[in-house]
């Protein structure tokens, strides 16, 4: 029985407290998707479109690769009956903590802490590889990540310059900026922020850190602002913060690694959904889906088969005017949908 299989395996490997209450080990534009209301509550973007294009079947198995605060996940769960299952992943310990209640009380739901580059491994361990009806990537950062000053993602709030989705792994932005070479900073700010003044900004950062370590968000924002032309439509630190965040969290590299896994994990007819908030992310999703629809060069299938298309393109979707009116941050969201071929 699918439910028993899904849950029994998931219970064995889950990263959060067990459903019996015993602890388990962890295994583990400007920020474009600033998805929160004026009151600061979290709002999933393109929710109706996601539910529609996942084509949810009541007893199906779904994976939410970017749980966040579970806006999409909870809506998917509400469409499933007791035979269904939802595996969620997030690398942010606070997102995993936010899922604790659901994890402990809903036997259809499991969350894993870690990168979505673990997708295939987790699916195999759970016995759901090749059986998944739909996978969602809602990319970037969540509003709680952006809004809590201690996370250091926002130049609007004074906070420690961190910017890690998983603050227990890798270097913080402050640590990286303390030692990175000027050329390296310029390259990152240019490549991941598409910032025209990347060289000037990198020079200013290196000059500033000679006298004082750069440890806070506002400190960095002020250095970037001084190095940038005054007349700009967005805050001058927008692109620089985006670039450092993407670099530190390996956002584009991890996306490129996870997409081929998603195709392998899907059942024939299963749907792959990617929501991106800027062109760098969207380019990866778009090219991947297009290549797979042509029989492209990502190693999705075994080498002998890899010339055959693995995906069928379904389309791309933007937020309705109504949604943008109610949640202006949905303006830059772009959902792409493809379907696994048999």
Ligand X SMILES: C[S@@+](CC[C@H](N)C(=O)[O-])C[C@H]1O[C@@H](n2cnc3c(N)ncnc32)[C@H](O)[C@@H]1O
Radius of gyration of the chain (CA): 20
Tell me if 72 contacts ligand X by CB under 6 A: yes
Find the binder of ligand X among 92, 112, 162, 339 (CB under 6 A).
92
Q: How many residues bind ligand X (CB under 6 A)?
A: 22
Instruction: Please choose, from the candidates 27, 23, 69, 65, the residue with its C-alpha nearest in 3D space to the C-alpha of residue 44.
Output: 69
Burial of 168 (0-12, 13-18, 19+ CB in 10 A): exposed
Examine residue 327 and tell whether it contacts ligand X (CB under 6 A): no
In the complex, residue closest to ligand X by CB: 68
Helix axes 198-211, 217-227, angle to 10 degrees: 130
Residues ≥6 apart with Cβ < 8 Å to 307: 295
CA distance 157 to 176: 20
Of 77-85, 86-94, 173-181, 326-334, which part binds ligand X (CB under 6 A)?
Answer: 86-94
Site string for ligand X, 135-174 (x = CB under 6 A): ---x-xxx----------------------x---------
The CA distances from residue 232 to 197, 238, 338, in Å, are 12, 11, 37
Subset of 236-255 contacting ligand X (CB under 6 A): 254
What are the b/e assignments for 197-226, b being 16+ CB within 10 Å?
A: bbbbbbebbbebbeeeebbbbbbbbbbbbe
7, 10, 62, 71: which one contacts ligand X (CB under 6 A)? 71
Using the minimum distance from each CB to ligand X, give the nearer residue, 16 or 214: 16
Binds ligand X by CB under 6 A, chosen from 10, 36, 80, 95: 95
Q: Which of 66, 129, 133, 219 forms a contact with ligand X (CB under 6 A)?
A: 66
**Integer angstrom CA distances of residue 109 from 15, 53, 270, 310:** 12, 20, 19, 28
Task: Give first-to-last CA distance, the chain, whole Å.
Answer: 23
CB-wise, 42 or 316, nearer to ligand X? 42
Nearer to ligand X, 10 or 246 (CB): 246
Instruction: List all residues 6 or more positions away from 299 whose beta carbon is below 8 Å from its beta carbon.
Output: 260, 306
Binding status of residue 90 toward ligand X by CB under 6 A = yes
Q: Is 15 in the site for ligand X (CB under 6 A)?
A: no
Q: Check binding of 115 to ligand X (CB under 6 A).
A: yes
Site string for ligand X, 32-61 (x = CB under 6 A): -x--------x-x-----------------
Minimum CB separation of residue 66 from ligand X in Å reads 3
Binding site for ligand X (CB under 6 A): 33, 42, 44, 66, 68-72, 89-92, 95, 115-116, 138, 140-142, 165, 254
């Amino acid at each position: 029985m699918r439910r028993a299989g899904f849950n029994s395996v998931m219970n064995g490997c889950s990263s959060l407290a067990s459903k019996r209450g015993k602890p388990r080990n962890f295994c583990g534009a400007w920020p474009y998707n600033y998805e929160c209301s004026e009151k600061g509550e979290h709002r999933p973007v393109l929710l109706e479109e996601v539910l529609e294009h996942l084509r949810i079947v009541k007893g199906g198995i779904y994976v939410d690769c970017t749980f966040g605060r579970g806006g999409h996940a909870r809506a998917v769960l509400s469409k499933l009956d007791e035979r269904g299952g939802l595996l969620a992943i997030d690398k942010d310990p606070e997102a995993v903590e936010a899922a604790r209640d659901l994890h402990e009380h809903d036997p259809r739901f499991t969350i894993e802490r870690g990168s979505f580059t673990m997708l295939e491994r987790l699916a195999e361990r759970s016995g759901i590889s090749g059986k998944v009806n739909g996978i969602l990537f809602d990319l970037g950062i969540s509003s709680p990540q952006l809004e809590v000053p201690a996370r250091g993602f926002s130049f609007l709030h004074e906070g420690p310059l961190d910017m890690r989705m998983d603050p227990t792994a890798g270097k913080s932005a402050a640590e990286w900026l303390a030692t990175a070479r000027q050329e390296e900073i310029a390259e990152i700010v240019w490549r991941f922020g598409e910032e025209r003044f990347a060289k000037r900004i990198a020079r200013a950062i290196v000059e500033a850190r000679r006298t004082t370590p750069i440890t806070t968000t506002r400190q960095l924002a002020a250095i970037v602002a001084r190095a940038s032309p005054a007349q700009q439509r967005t805050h001058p630190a927008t692109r620089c913060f985006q670039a450092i965040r993407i670099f530190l969290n390996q956002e584009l590299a991890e996306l490129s690694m996870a997409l081929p896994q998603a195709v392998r994990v899907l059942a024939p007819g299963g749907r792959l959904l990617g929501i991106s908030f800027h062109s760098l992310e969207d380019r990866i999703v778009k090219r991947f889906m297009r290549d797979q629809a042509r029989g492209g060069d990502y190693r999705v299938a075994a080498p002998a088969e890899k010339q055959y298309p693995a995906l069928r393109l379904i389309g791309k979707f933007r937020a309705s005017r109504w949604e943008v009116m109610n949640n202006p941050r949905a303006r830059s969201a772009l959902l792409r949908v493809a379907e696994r071929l048999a």
